[in-house]
Structure 1
Amino acid sequence: MSETRDIVCQPLTAQAFAPFGDVLEVSGEPDKLINAGLCGRYHDLAKLDFGRDGRAGISLFDAQPRSLPYMLDLLECHPEGSQAFLPMTQHPFLVIVSQSALSRPQAFLTAPGQGINLHRGTWHGVLTPLHAPGLFAVIDRIGETANLQEHRLDLPWRIVAG
């Protein structure tokens, strides 16, 4: 039997997630009203970063749902650009981040309607929806140079509900 280590999920908050990226959510009053006052604009919520040789691209990801407890055995990093995940459903999803490939990860559970933007160079787990469909709009760097590093963990972490 292999040894595992547990990490308890915590709710996703802007303050707790700040070292890793931005929480994308509607909160409080909008920055301004547009469309004849019928639409609230929550302005410039993420620090998008695509490097000098990249551009923004929008892709759709359709990920298979996972369940808790979840075994984390792979971390990845995008050294050339940020990566934003906007769920196309109201289901929560699991977000796993780490200061480095060798540091203890942190696990967050989003609230319905929350998205995230991972800052450039943030180590993180793979896209982990907890319900079908696992459909996300993803805004990330498109460019000629490689933008993915992967690190397999020798000893997995078990992510459990809080």
Structure 2
Amino acid sequence: MSGEIAAQPLTPAAFAPFGDVLQVVGLPDRIINQGLCGRYHDLARIDTGGGRAGISLFSAEPRRLPYRLEMLERHPLGSQAFLPMSLHPFLVIVAPDDSGVPGRPVAFVTTPGQGINLHRGTWHGVLTPLHAPGLFAVVDRIGTEANLEEHWLATPFIITARP
């Protein structure tokens, strides 16, 4: 399994098998703070699998398209949410599970202001900002158990921009 994969725009429907798209769309669920703030409520299922939820900051080096995908990872014990701290798009690579190894990957490019929450056990590429600064708030499971599996691809995929 190898080849070229064109990154597509990130939409909730296309991403649903892998996780949640975090974005502000439409009217807020609630108006709070003396009517000056719209709350878009409970947009992702944070799954800590018995651990606790933690917030970390990640500072990742920007990458460029075409991008060489050599490894996918997953977190079997909990979800992982990535919230960009700038208004730049980033690359999201996910893959279905195929009997304990990643299937053929799918790539998405976010629009400014979108974040993601990966469901527990979802195969995904590493954090891949496309612009500096690659600063993200990450909400995921904190615990003592091993919560990372890596799978190195025999033949890398090349992720390109959609024509």
TM-score between both structures, scaled by the size of structure 1: 0.96
Matches within 5 A, 1:3-152: 5-52=3-50, 54-100=51-97, 101-152=101-152
Give the fraction of aligned pairs with identical amino acids, expressed as a percent.
70
**SS state at 1:9 partner:** strand
Q: Deviations over 1:102-147 (max 9, x none)?
A: 3110000000000000000000000000000000000000001010
- Would the aligned equivalents of 2:53 and 2:142 in 1 still touch at CA under 8 Å? yes
**SS state at 2:83 partner:** strand
Letter aligned with residue 139 of structure 1: V
* Consecutive unaligned residues in structure 2, runs of 5 or more: none
- Would the aligned equivalents of 2:72 and 2:102 in 1 still touch at CA under 8 Å? no
**SS state at 1:23 partner:** strand
Structure 2: distance between partners of 1:64 and 1:140: 20
Shift of 1:6: 0.2
> RMSD value over aligned CA atoms?
1.0
Q: Deviations over 1:35-87 (max 9, x none)?
A: 010000000000110002x0000000000000000000000000000000000
Letter aligned with residue 31 of structure 1: D
Letter aligned with residue 35 of structure 2: G
**SS state at 1:97 partner:** strand
**SS state at 1:37 partner:** coil
